[in-house]
Chains A and B, each alone.
Chain A
Amino acid sequence: MTEPGGADHGTTGPAPGGDGDGWARLDKRAVLVTALVMAGVAAGACVPVLLGLSGGVWFGSGARRGTGLLLLPAGAVLLVAGGAAVEYVRWTRTRYRIGPERAELHTGLLLVKRRSLARERIRSVDLTANPLLRLLGLVKVRIGTGEHTGGGESTLELHPVSRAEGERLRRELLDRAPSPAAEAHRDGELARLDPRWIRYAPLSFVAPLLGGAAAGGVMQVSDWFGAQHRVIDWVGDRFRDTPAIWIVLVLAVAALVAGAVGALGLWVEMWWNYRLEREPGGTLRVRRGLLTARSISIEERRLRGVELVEPLGVRLCRAARIDAVATGLAKAEDDKHADHKTLLPAVPRALADDVAARVLRETVSPTGAPLTGHPRAARTRRLRWSLGAALLPVLVLAVLGAAVADVLLYVAAACAVVGLPLAVLLALDAYRSLGHGLSGDYLVARSGTVRRATVALQRGGVIGWTVKQSYVQRRAGLITLTATTAAGAGAYDIHDADQEEGTAFAAAAVPGLLEPFLERGSGERGSERPGPPKG
């Protein structure tokens, strides 16, 4: 199958189906798409009912069953026809126009909604096509300005248009005069899928989640058919003579294997045909997807840096993925599009650094730069937190064990034996991960252990500093620095940096911003004792 934009040659003519003034309609096959989707829904709804009928559970027998059987197709036809009719009305009432100044969309069934975006504010044009749309040669186009106005007012969605028209829109809307800097660097492919990367897929946190979901799904489906106890009995029969601990282990392994298979499948669906390209005019484009083809464009002008993310499992295999830190990407709560910021799936770390450098047009990636470590007090804090978190359940279990049942004491001991070393390891690793530094035009900050993230943020993209200090941090001479930015998560933290070194770092990272508010003292650390601070 071809991906969207596969047919991107010579389609710069006027939009099809226009009715003067540059207004264009969506593709007529929208009606067909809706009819097919509705038919699918109808089939999905009818089959279980038919099964029920043939079992004679609800409708009794004889003539009444006959009427029931007749009603079903009638309902299905009504559903399909009704859906198609509504979609037809929507289609006739939806028009869009890409003018010289604004992109406009008029839509709505009863109430006409008019939405218009200033073209110079448009930051992204994303094309997606699910398998049905791909079969028909259609795509869904999302045009966004990426402003934080909320309520989704800042996006236009054209669903669907033909693939060629989608590609034309994408190129027209994102075509800007290429900057001189863009000329100096090569355009073209920055990264392409290597099928060997799939080995990192089962390591992600998706795998255990999918495994759990699979187990839950089996129970749920069997419950629908009233066969849940049969499933449990069947599993019980398999393990008649095995001790309980083995049953738990085997079931857990089975769930994990199922999860790993699911993760592999998901990875293939998400990342097949992956390609990361730089297009003339300064746009990064990610194309990927096996069944649902996605094309995500990020204007380089709104790229403020990259984040190198290493989830624990992936990190243990020395791999990392790369997320874009850009303004105006889909927001976090919009989790349907959460994967839009990922520029590169988990790949070997060296390659990830290499791609990051190419994305940022640097010779060496700032994500690989040497970083300043944090004071030992930061390690003490981490050890305290993780030991506290590990000891709490142990203590609760021990108290309960002493009061209620002795068996809980053994559980508490087991928790302590497993949990405490793990807590210490995680805390030490979290401390080792901490770091910050400047690398050319970039501010680099790293933290985290379960999800270690190294963010490289353009120093020009920092739009403010927040310095936080708790009572404990004040005594230990630590501060938490937060660089606020318009891009990505909105703020990136440097946890538990040394008080003086961190302040100097923040001042150096964004020249001119902090200087007026600094004082150079004799630097006796801890001279400013807590308590009601000086006024």
Chain B
Amino acid sequence: MSEHAITRRSFLAGSAGVAAAIAGSEFLSFGSWQQAYAEEAAGPTTTAHSLCNACSTKCGFTAYVVDGKLDKIIGDASHPYCEGTLCARGYGYADIAYSADRLTDPLKKNESGQFQAISWEQAYAEIGEKVQSIIKESGPETLAIVQDPRPSGKYYSQRFMNALGSPNVYTHGVACNMSKNSGFAQVIGASDYTSDVENSKMTMFIGRSYADAIRPSALHALEKAHEAGAYIVLVDPRLNNSIAFADEWVPINPGTDLAFILGMAHVLVSKGLYDKDYVAANSVGFDEWASYLQNCTPEWAQEITGIDANTIERLATMFAEAAPAASIEPSWRGAFGCSYDNSGETARAVCAFNTLLGCWNQKGGALFLPSVSASKLDAGTFPSVPKPEGTIVGAKEYPLSQSGMGVSVFAANLATTGMVRGMFFYNSNMVAGYSNPEHLKECVEALDLSVAIDVQMSETCMACQYVLPDTSYLERLELPEFVSAKTPVVTLRDKVIEKVHPNTRPVDQIFSELAEACGVGEYFTFSVEELADAQLASVGLSLDALRQKGTAAFPEKTFEYGKTPEWKTPTGKIQFASDACEKAGLPRVPQWREPAVSVPDDGASFRLIGGKQAIHSHTQTANIEALMDITKQYGLDRVWMNANRAAELGIADGDTVLVSNDLFSGQAQVKVTERINPEALYLPSHYGCSSPQQKTAYNVGLRQMDFVPYRLEEGYGGACTQETFVTVKKVGA
């Protein structure tokens, strides 16, 4: 019997000499360690300020780390979005750092379609070579990136793509709020505003639910408004959970919000209940719209919306009485962020209606809140990237789409033609969430180069050739996040814990190294710490100072009621009429436009609508076990069906039903309820994960997008996520 040197080498000490090293040292059994660990309060506690990543809100919190492991997070009272309160998603999503499904190494798909771990060096070398080859053969404009904006990700992804010479930088907006933002911009020259809910006398929500897509401060404001006696109206095919703080539910037919607004506007204009002085002083094109509105009577709107004409008239009159402390809330994705072929036009109508109330920047009205941003930095340390030639792919075809968001799925669709050859995805699950997954998967697989950067294996990662493992948001410092608020602030996502997996890398490092591999490393010669500090120095702060506080306010920039905004439209006025819309083939003024898809009146068909639940953000949080446990406990993956329709179809609460259309078919349990419009079938937007690597989320529930065809909204480019219908029948009947 012998023992050879190779077997004596120890990982723990690197040599056979370890035996001598530990002689006499104290071994501690697991049981003794557990006892000691409990008695010593589990080691030292450190704290750091960070920003949640469970949704786009990015609430600030203080993280408490015990003995190197995240122990708890508590919302920062100074952060304007959370005001000291985090939501369930925020608490649950922190588990991602330690998830058993984390990506731990760079991956490359092999010939049999399986992913295998490769080294970072190999990944960079192969990706870099392919990028340079594509640029040489087809030009940089055939490269694109899609990212769901996060503090560092939005900076580095844009800089990377622009450094390569491509303008094609996209967000998830096409399947979120782009149509809304683009429509707003046509009327008010700004892509968004904030309703002053807590000070309002009346606020109407169209398709948005603060209690289901939670931003804690928004929910606080709604609660205050309700307690102060404001009249809160929910216009939604589904009675959402905000009803706890609301006075009235308007169960509108899905896709008809535009007609509803036009009907209310008709009342204000025809009865002279609008703010004539405000309209005259601040707008153009009113007469054109007023002329069109003549036929948009409440009775006309009733036929389309299913809402009684008296209700429409009553609500319009109440608005006039409450003005200017009243507004239609801007919504987000909801009913007109991207849902229908009339979403952008609905957004225009919302802004036009608010203008009739004269509520812009009025207490209780609709506000344009101030923000602060970093100034231009020293070009020696942070060299400017030349502006790419040309415009973002999709801008020509969808001229009203916001260039800051872009029509990402259109760019992906061009992969099948070879006009787009390489795509990168950062923190973006385009394949599962932006349009029809099967189609988008085919698009990504048609690319010559596809690279996803993420923390877990999304459906988009699955379709790509390379997957690069990101650190989780808890494991890295990111660039400062400037937040618009009544008193604007800057916030920081600082590193909370050390990297859980040594072979993962933070987003700033990945893009800097990718740039080096692609031959444009000269634009990434600084660290994220240096850049963060320089950005903060430009607004009179420092990284060290912000690390201490997490959130820093700019009180000198505090919002003041009553100031007329600067309208950043081509005319410098609020535009009831838009030349750009006319040029894009749409009416000059907001007019009724049918959804592209009509639901057959056959007794068996429903329009499929989506919507958030308070414990999930799209598909991103479905793999969090604690959150999915809530889903399962309460049956949150059920589809909602109107009780009368269910009775007609012989379907009872809790039945398993088959939901089908020509694209997909799948089974789900049904919730039979009075809380939904008879035309609509509600399918929560978070389920149906088809990535087996996400072992908690996989195969739970149905995925809304599987039933949605690839379609883009005229002019705006929205993904038309509710332009589809399905039939439902009881399984086994």
Q: Do A and B bind each other?
A: no
